[in-house]
Amino acid sequence: MKQFFSVLISTIFLLTTGCASNPYTDRSQFLLISEDNEAQMGEQSYAQVLGDPKVQISKNPDEVAPVQRVAERIIAAAKKSKYAQRAQSFNWEVNVIKDDRTKNAWALPGGKIAFYTGIFPEAKNENGLAAIMGHEVVHALARHGAERMSTNSAAQLGLSVVTIALGMGPVGSQLAGQAVGIGLLLPFSRSHESEADYIGLLLAAEAGYDPRESVQLWQRMAQSSQGAPPEFLSTHPANETRIKDLQEWMPEAMAIYERAKKASVSELPKITPPPPQKKPAPKQE
């Protein structure tokens, strides 16, 4: 297996050498997809989600207004950030999805944002919303989706080359694929999450939201996500890791926040998730 990883990493390195770099962290990025194609995929995915008849777009001002307020300030901060040119080219849009059971939010390439009402209890207030939105917006601005697709393609190509070169059979190829996922791709996705945490923290602070709320946000997340998989088997860092990192980045974020024009912050509407749906009893024969 050591020989396998040595050959695979060398192959992927040759396939991915010489690309862009993140303007905040200087991390090298491998991108095969153009920004126009990426934005088009984001538009299509957004339209598909919102066009689903099962998806209910909230029209409640108490739910929609705070998300729109936070989005307006986060977008304005993004347009002055190191991603300014990209942020200015995005066709931004934000919607709130009425789903009290789903704790989720995302931002797609091109600036398409969605928040589910089920995440309101964790966000708690507009500072918490800003921490989440800053994180999600950075995924789009930093082109993490395109990078992940590009790296997966390179990894699959590299895997095919290496398994042939080392004469691996079907079973060996399957195990090698699992090793690639755990050893390379999952940590790579975790690096995206940490990068979005860091830059999103700075973006929210620049938008005038207290970055200290991000630590309390993830403490609430930790309490509501008992039973999560071990960090090495997850695409996201463990909550404890995130909290520790955020605390280390806090002095930088607070320096930005102290200079920023402070946002007016309100509490979010109370959301009571519906009880879990009961599974139907098995039919008696």
Active-site residue set: 136
* HEC letters along the chain: CHHHHHHHHHHHHHHHCCCEECCCCCCEECCCCCHHHHHHHHHHHHHHHHCCCCCCECCCHHHHHHHHHHHHHHHHHHCCCCCHHHHHHCCCEEEEECCCCCCCEEEECCCEEEEEHHHHHHHCEHHHHHHHHHHHHHHHHCCHHHHHHHHHHHHHHHHHHHHHHCCCCHHHHHHHHHHHHHHHHHHHHHHHHHHHHHHHHHHHHHCCCCCCHHHHHHHHHHHHCCCCCCHHHCCCCCHHHHHHHHHHHHHHHHHHHHHCCCCCCCECCCCCCCCCCCCCCCCCC
